[in-house]
Amino acid sequence: MRVLSLPEARLPENRFVIRSASLTAQIDPVGAELWSLTDPQGREMMTDADPRWWTGHAPLLFPFVGRSREDVYRLGGHAFPMPQHGFARRECFALEEQAADHVLLRLEADAATRTLYPFDFRLDMRFAIEGATLRMTATVGNRGEARMPFSFGYHPAFAWPLPFGGAVEDHRIVFEKPEPAPIRRVGAEPGLIARDSQASPVEGDTLAPTYAMFEGDALIWDDLASRSLTWGVPGQPHLKIDFPDTPWLGLWQKPGAHYLCVEPWAGMADPVGFDGDVWDKPGIMALLPGDSRSFRMDVTLVAD
């Protein structure tokens, strides 16, 4: 039986490249992971993947977002192992369609995935560049005969600082709307969500991130008004990030690293102390047999 494990490092020639006059993206088939996003001058807008902090680039979170308590989830009286953020990020996706400006990759259930997740799923990941926008669309399908529990999230790590000028401390997250609601943090059990909330660090619609903010792990919005934000230095070229299909958001980095993860989520980790069935987990969605659901995330380079 094939073992689900972290892939060995892949050479650049193994990646798919799509482009327009404004953007070039590289996508690795392992995890269908966005590996690089550059402008016409070749300036990199993604993480440098410095191993001192984190070597990920943009893993896909499926079939569950975040960590299950003790790395196990319960379904109908049975316990199943599940690594943090699921297994899709470790799997090699098959190429279904490729052109100069788009690529479609697919992951389907097999004997190995069913030992962790006993459902006949299909996960399609489409990357398309339209002008200065990279459009990413994940489509989860249920090809089985049982109602399927799942969650989904994006986890891209954008450069901090971006390569357009401005110091680390000059960068801002500007939300589409004011975000006064309290946020969640990771609790006493590593990777799990604290049951209490904290005051929002957003002033109006603007967050000025600092390394110190992430010493307690991610910032998590589970009462988010916005479905769009910008990342960058005011007055400089920046990124506009749209996520119309995901109601929650995480921001994360390892303090001092050269990236900020902007993570639209539909689902999240178990709460501290959670020991219920997966259907009782916050954010779990149900997909009926034959149905599918899509989650889009757009990244646009805005030249000020």
Flag whether 64 is in a domain: yes
User: What pLDDT was estimated at residue 13?
Assistant: 61
Flag whether 29 is in a domain: yes
What residues does 196 pair with on adjacent strands?
A: none
Residue 9 has pLDDT above 50, yes or no: no
User: What pLDDT was estimated at residue 6?
Assistant: 34
Strands (E), 151-302: 152-154, 157-159, 172-175, 206-207, 219-221, 228-232, 238-242, 248-252, 259-266, 285-287, 292-302
pLDDT bracket for residue 12 (50, 70, 90): low
What number is the average pLDDT over the span 273-283?
95
Query: How many residues can be counted in the chain?
Result: 304
Residue 168 has pLDDT above 50, yes or no: yes
Per-residue pLDDT of 178-203, as tens digits, reads 999 999 999 999 999 999 999 999 99
Lowest-pLDDT choice from 8-22, 86-100, 134-148, 280-294: 8-22
Per-residue pLDDT of 203-253, as tens digits, reads 999 999 999 999 999 999 999 999 999 999 999 999 999 999 999 999 999
Question: How far lies 201's CA from each of 50, 55, 179, 184, in Å?
Answer: 27, 27, 9, 11
Flag whether 97 is in a domain: yes
Flag whether 207 is in a domain: no
Domains contained in the chain, number: 1
Flag whether 17 is in a domain: yes
Flag whether 172 is in a domain: no
What number is the average pLDDT over the span 109-120?
97
What is the domain range of residue 52? 13-161+244-302
pLDDT averaged over the chain?
A: 94
Flag whether 174 is in a domain: no
Residue 149 has pLDDT above 60, yes or no: yes
User: What pLDDT was estimated at residue 190?
Assistant: 92
Residues of the chain above pLDDT 90, percent: 95
User: What pLDDT was estimated at residue 178?
Assistant: 98
DSSP 52: T
Q: Dihedral of CA 194/69/268/5: which sign?
A: positive
Q: State the CATH number of the domain containing residue 104.
A: 2.70.98.10
Lowest-pLDDT choice from 8-12, 73-77, 108-112, 194-198: 8-12
User: What pLDDT was estimated at residue 14?
Assistant: 87
Flag whether 48 is in a domain: yes
User: What pLDDT was estimated at residue 10?
Assistant: 41
CB contact set of 83 (below 8 Å; sequence gap of 6+): 4, 71, 90
What number is the average pLDDT over the span 39-61?
96
